[in-house]
A and B are shown apart, each in its own frame.
Chain A
Amino acid sequence: MTSITNPLIQIKALDYAYPRRGKVLSHIDFALYEGERVAINGDNGVGKTTLLHLMVGLKKAKKGDIFGFGELCKTEKQFNQMRAQAGLLFQDPDDQLFCPTVLEDVMFGPLNLGFSKAQAIEKSLAILEKLGMKGFETRITHQLSGGEKRMITLACVLVMEPKVLLLDEPTNALDEKAKLRLLNVLKTLPQAMILISHDKLFSSQLMTRQLTLADAQLTEQTPTNIAVA
């Protein structure tokens, strides 16, 4: 199996600092392999979101290398190509849904990838149906409920057929029912995942590996000290 030897996303000796907060990430090494679901735990403001944004090049690392699917990513163009395969789900769904209607929002990715309009519509409708959101195509995005918005953002990301999903607190502000629905959907997905969540129950049901980010260091957590709240 080549997948064992080639990580999907690899980070080597990554450094990042905010102007007034000092070092947030120091010498981070990390690799994500196919089939893995990794949770990154850590306190508020410790730099978890920053790490995800660095991975897809939304922020530029001060030092260190990021390899996306075997390729070294440095320039915006290189990151642009890797982003298509690494679907990032933002903390606030409102940031992600910017088109007037649901269908247009879901279509946005495929159209950017160069699919024709007809193909994009077909792909979008298929993914909406797969997520159980059929019939939402013509709905206005800002009139959806929190749970619906979350599912649509997931559809927006999945329609681009990414190899990796990066989930930034996807259960934020979701009620139990919506959470369960999201959990069931995520369980069926084949993609490797990185999850940031403060919801221990949610992440323990889904994840295969737990990491902790603290004091600018990323450390492996042994399965014994996973506290199930």
Chain B
Amino acid sequence: MSQGLEHSLTSWSGQALKHQTSWIDNLDARIRIVCAGLFAFVVVLSQFFVPALLGLLCALWLVKASQLNIKRTLRRVIAMDFFMLTLIVILPFTTPGDMMFTLFGFPASWQGLSHALLITIKANAVLLMLFSLVATMPATTLGYALAHLKVPDKLVHLLLFMVRYLEVISQEYKKMRRAMQARAFVMRTNRHTWKSIGYLFGMLLIRSVERAERIADAMKCRGFCGRYYLNNDMKIKSADVVFTTLFVFFLFLLIGLNIHDFYH
């Protein structure tokens, strides 16, 4: 468990997912965020398998196009699919409908299963779309783009500061963790472990607060009075227009399929 904890805390310092450069990297960051958002909206509101599957196919194709490592991407998706698995197990029993089988006297319904599968497909489609369009940009670019999209300053700053100091705080965590290991600490399921880990996280919290105060002081020293400036100009290019047009057409197709299915 400790291994997983350490990995998740250390490996990310705001860089994009590893990938070779592709035409998606050249698209405007704002366009990518908005397109991914609209896509999620349309797909999540889909009520039928055809548009959801089409969305999943499109997302898969974009993942391929963005030159992400397919194997590692799928591994990330599978992490989420474990949550979906519980959904598939539970939903047939909680949704009323035509009986599939009974377990200990509880009936499982076909409708529940199809509902769970539909949700799984939607979730996978949205996640893959986020991987290909949004996760392929560094977190700072994401912050800039959000600022240009008029997301409230405070949220953008929160994101940028988090990205900036996650690494620093995880370094502190690692330092303390190593100091514990140097004194022969091994994680076990006992009172001593819980107490020590409690101390560790308490200390981490205190250090983070103290660092935040020092940063605020440093900002004051340079005349900070409530405004934080971002320096990044973004321009829409013709490739962005083409991509957006095609993407919106595709979304209309999905919406159209939904309405069409609805009337049949």
Interface residues of A (CB under 8 A from B): 53, 56, 58, 80, 83-84, 87-88, 90, 92, 94-96, 98-101, 103-104, 107-109, 111-113, 117, 121, 140-143, 156-157, 160
Contacts and interface: CB of A to CB of B under 8 A. Distances in A.
A72 B178 CA distance: 48
Contacts of A157: 222
A95 B222 contact: no
Contact of B223 (A58, A95, A101, A112): A112
A116 to B, nearest CB: 11
Interface stretch (B113-121, B183-191, B225-233, B249-257): B225-233
Interface residues of B, number: 28
A111 B230 CA distance: 11
Interface of B: 13-14, 140, 143, 160-161, 163-165, 167-168, 211, 214-215, 217-225, 227-231
A70 B223 CA distance: 19
A108 B220 contact: no
30 contacts: A80-B220, A80-B225, A83-B223, A87-B221, A88-B221, A90-B217, A90-B218, A94-B168, A95-B218, A96-B215, A96-B218, A98-B164, A98-B218, A99-B160, A100-B14, A100-B164, A101-B140, A101-B231, A103-B231, A107-B229, A108-B219, A108-B229, A111-B227, A111-B229, A112-B224, A140-B140, A142-B168, A156-B222, A157-B222, A160-B222
Most chain B CB inside 10 Å of its own CB: which residue of A56, A84, A95: A95
Contacts of A87: 221
| Chain A facing B: main interface SS | helix
Contacts of A84: 223
